[in-house]
Amino acid sequence: MPVKSHQESGEPSEESVRRAARLASNSVEDLPEGGLAAKLDEGRPLRVKLGIDPTAPDIHLGHTVVLNKLRQFQDDGHEVVLIIGDYTARVGDPSGRSDQRPVLDPGQIDENARTFQEQAFKVLDRDRTEVRFNSEWLRMEPEQLLGLLARATVARLLERDDFQKRMKAEEPISTLELLYPLLQGYDSVAIRADVELGGTDQKFNLLFGRDIQAAYDCPRQTVMTMPILPGIDGVRRMSKSLGNYIGVTDPPDEMFGKVMRVPDGNLGEYWSLLLGEEPPEGEPPNLSKRRLASAVVDRFHGEGQGIAAEAAFNRVFVDHEAPEEIEVHFVDGPAVHLPAVLADAFGISRSEARRVLRQGGVKLDGEVLPEEPLDYASADLGGGVIQLGKRRFRRLETQS
């Protein structure tokens, strides 16, 4: 009896299985089992989708975990489709939420979208990335929207864990939140996605996208979930709103210092998810953390910047000196309100500035400033180095 080829038997080739295994490295789940290998066996570039709602202007290292995986698909010859969810951001993704997500101002969403996609190109190859905005297809006529709504049941939508927990706690679920998975699923229909990536909290949405594709007689995508990087507190997911994030646009010195705050117990997953490597075996945590911090800085700021950032870190935290290069902030007028100066100089709110002052976290030329007074003559601050917390410095100069 002749042996059937893998095309005839329906089984993917060994090469496709190997490629699928490489692409799925570091992922949590690759569903359905064998689906990616079967897609690869078709012998064409796959359309690999990631949708991101621009709810904040900046990308942090947590976002780069899935962006790194997208880049791996690009390097394997596939087409990456980055969907900026300018429309779905107006609805609010309920994934991982125990309450209703506030709806953002449209102007803020549009501004976030502009900066977000530019920062994504710090990881992705710009020339091999198709950027789409889902408002292109989600601004539907009523008949089209009703047609989409008819393709899902409320019972299916309420299967998601987030909704189950909120119903048990008798917490509200808005109809907009119920609509979100349908809209995200329709994104996959609109761009004919072969693969969709997301964090583990996105599993329901990703799988639901397969249902929507099937309802529109489209080939169903495979889905891949990626681990969620914990923040520098080592406990909660990395988030700008929680203040435990490392931004990809953070200055080199600040980025290095933040990585050094990562708990020793989280070093393994940081090395794995950010560098694709394991920490050097037997190396002390402090040294391993320094290598990690230097590599991360080099990646986002250029070769050699990590060494310079480490030298600046040592100057402040080992030698207890101010950095050699300090950004200048100008103060204007004969008198200034210190919380206003701190807010302008460091990009924080005035209430946050007053809180840090109360905690003794502001120094002028190495001396802790008291909680009161809050108003100073400009001449008393001009030429001095003001320090916020342990790592942030500005040299204050008066306007001539």
Chain segment 142-152, per-residue pLDDT in tens: 999 999 999 98
Q: Is residue 239 part of a domain?
A: no
CB-based contact 190:134 (threshold 8 Å) = yes
Q: Show which of 317, 340, 363 is a domain's final residue.
A: 317
**What average pLDDT score do residues 14-39 get?**
95
Total residues belonging to the chain: 400
Query: Are 21 and 42 members of one domain?
Result: yes
**What average pLDDT score do residues 61-84 get?**
95
The SS3 assignment for 322 reads: coil
**Phi-psi label, residue 338: left if phi above 0, alpha if psi -120 to 50, beta otherwise:** alpha
Chain segment 81-130, per-residue pLDDT in tens: 999 998 888 775 555 444 445 556 778 888 888 888 889 999 999 999 99
Q: Which two tokens stand for residue 140?
A: 């539907």
- Residue 338's CATH number: 3.10.290.10
Q: How many domains does the chain have?
A: 3
Q: What are phi and psi of 209, to 5 degrees?
A: -60, -35
Choice between 81 and 358, residue whose per-residue pLDDT is larger: 81
Q: Show which of 180, 209, 226 is a domain's final residue.
A: 226
Give pLDDT, residue 33.
94
With a CB cutoff of 8 Å and minimum separation 6, the contacts of 33 are none
Among 81-95, 197-211, 325-339, the range of highest mean pLDDT: 197-211
Chain segment 310-324, per-residue pLDDT in tens: 988 888 777 666 666
Residue-range definition of the domain harbouring residue 283 = 252-317
Query: Are 46 and 188 members of one domain?
Result: yes
- Residue 97's CATH number: 3.40.50.620
